[in-house]
Structures are given as C-alpha cells and as structure tokens.
Amino acid sequence: MPNISGISSENEVRLDDYIKKVNSELDKYKYEEMSRCGLQKEVAEAMWYTLSAGGKRVRAVLTMEFCRVCGGDTDDALPAACAIEMIHAFSLIHDDLPCMDNDDFRRGKPSCHKAFDEATALLAGDALQNKAFEVISNDKKLSDTVKVKLISCISKAVGVQGMIGGQVIDTNCQAELTTSENLLEMYRMKTGALIAAACEMGCICAKAYDKVDSAEKFGECLGLAFQIVDDILDIIGDEKELGKPIGSDSSNEKNTFAVRCGIQESQKFAEKLTDDAMNALSDFDDNCFLKELSAYLMKRKK
C-alpha cells in the first residue's frame, strides 16, 4: 500500500483493508455471475471491465466506515458498499457514452463503450444498477427492514431528485446554470447525492437510524467539495495520474465551478466545504479516519 499523504499509518491500514474486502467481495459476485452466463456473457464482461478497473472506492469506504463509527460490524456493510460501487460504475459507463460526455478513457483504460460497443455498454450500465439491488435484496444476513431502507436510500440518490436529475441539468440546461447557487445545486444532485447515500447506508447497516441525517449532511458537503476538485483536475490535472484526458469539460462547453470562479477561488471554496463536512461529524465519536479521508480527497491528484 503506497503511503497516502496526510493519512496516519493506522488509518491507511484500515483504508487498505476496506478496499481489499470490497474488491474481493466484488470478485465473488463476478465469478457467480459469469458462471451462470451463456450467450450473454459479453455484457457481464463489460460490467466487470469497468467495475474492477481500479477506482478509488471512495463511496464503498464511506459506507464501511460510517457503519463502524456507528458501532456496527463492517462485514454487515459489505453488500451495501459493493452495491454503491456498482451504481457508481453504472453512472460512469453511461456518463462516458457519446450521447453524454463522450469520453474515450476512464480509469486509465478505454471507456466501456470503446472496449466493447455502445449497446453493450448501455446494457452493462443497466445491469450494474440491477445487480446493486439484487446484492442488497438477496443478502442472507441483513434484516428486511435494513434492506428496504438501503434500497430506498439508493433509489432516492439515483433518481430524478438525485444523480439522474443532476445529469439531466448538466447535459441539457447549461444555459440556465447562470449562478453559483444553481451550479452547486446541480452538483449536489449529480455527485453529492450518491456520496451522501454511501454515508447514510453505513449508518443504516449499523441500524443507527438516528445518525442518518448527520451522515447525509457530511456526505453532501464532501460530495460538493469532491465535484469541485474534479472540475479543477479537469483543468490542471495530470492525464496519466487521472487515467483520462483532461479538458473534457471545456470541450463539452461545460460551465463548471472551476471555469467560472478560477482555480484559486475554487480550491478555497472546496476547502471550506471540506471544513463544513468535518464539522458535520460531531455526532460521530472516533471520526479521525473520516476527517483524514476528507482532507486527503481535497488534496487528491486523481
């Protein structure tokens, strides 16, 4: 595990452990699915091509850690952590399609529709969304109440008031995004909603239902900061480190926060949002990992 600046060695071990557990659980689902495939095997390959292409697993890590800080057993959060990464991979596959951002590279590899074809990528995205709900609903350990709450939480985050709504505004309503406020509202939906859901789901897995609102507040602030850093990296990031070309936003004439306010002001605002996120953690004892992770995401290069 490389040394991650600003993260203590104890928390680095924890981060590494979460990522390994999630990756090995995802592999398990992959082999189960592949073993049941016949002629439709290509779509399963396309699903796992993107899912196992080495993302940071930020959303899964948040689910695991919120479960832990709420006193839960992190193994109980594994299905939800895998599900949120499936939904995230689904959104990335669709986001890269020619009808959306038309990006040819993702995570250092050709995008799903380039490695396969557009129809397969579209269906692989759809299948990943479906798989996320299957993984939660078929889990043997979680109670029905927890499953329903998890499914409700994901559906809200992905739907028209969440990620899909944000993507619609981003894709079709650039001319209407005339103020920082409406740009941030679009970010809250497009990126913040899923990150907030990742945090909320950790609390749900620990049955700490009274902590869900605080986790949501943390996740929304972190999600906004995360998207603004993403905008900044699209201008000044290193393509090799990012695993995708920079300049996608400007070639799509996207009105991002970093384009509108400049790099320095955007960095300052992302730092303020990161502070707001940390301040929302007062409800959670033992929040050092989450604080270090938030600070690291602010300084990330990919």
256 part of the interface to ligand GRG, by CB under 6 A: no
User: What does the alpha-carbon distance between residue 93 and residue 126 come to, in Å, rounded to a whole number?
Assistant: 10
User: What does the alpha-carbon distance between residue 212 and residue 64 come to, in Å, rounded to a whole number?
Assistant: 14
249 part of the interface to ligand GRG, by CB under 6 A: no
Which is closer to ligand GRG, CB of 74 or CB of 111?
A: 111
Task: Please pick, from the candidates 11, 111, 120, 167, the single residue that binds ligand GRG as defined by CB under 6 A.
Answer: 167
58 part of the interface to ligand GRG, by CB under 6 A: yes
Buried residues in 32-63 as b, exposed as e (16+ CB within 10 A): ebeeeeeeeeebbbbbbbbbebebebbbbbbb
C-alpha closest to that of 18 among 72, 82, 102: 82
56 part of the interface to ligand GRG, by CB under 6 A: yes
68 part of the interface to ligand GRG, by CB under 6 A: no
Which is closer to ligand GRG, CB of 190 or CB of 207?
A: 190
Q: What is the DSSP letter of 293?
A: H
* Sign of the torsion formed by the C-alpha atoms of 150, 289, 61 and 112: positive
Task: Please pick, from the candidates 107, 131, 188, 211, the single residue that binds ligand GRG as defined by CB under 6 A.
Answer: 107
Residue nearest to ligand GRG (CB): 55
Stretch that binds ligand GRG, among 16-24, 86-94, 140-148, 259-267 (CB under 6 A): 86-94
266 part of the interface to ligand GRG, by CB under 6 A: no
User: What does the alpha-carbon distance between residue 108 and residue 244 come to, in Å, rounded to a whole number?
Assistant: 6
100 part of the interface to ligand GRG, by CB under 6 A: yes
User: What does the alpha-carbon distance between residue 7 and residue 152 come to, in Å, rounded to a whole number?
Assistant: 33
Which spans of this chain sit near ligand GRG (rule: CB under 6 A)?
55-56, 58, 88, 90-92, 94-95, 100, 107, 158, 163-164, 167, 190-191, 227, 230
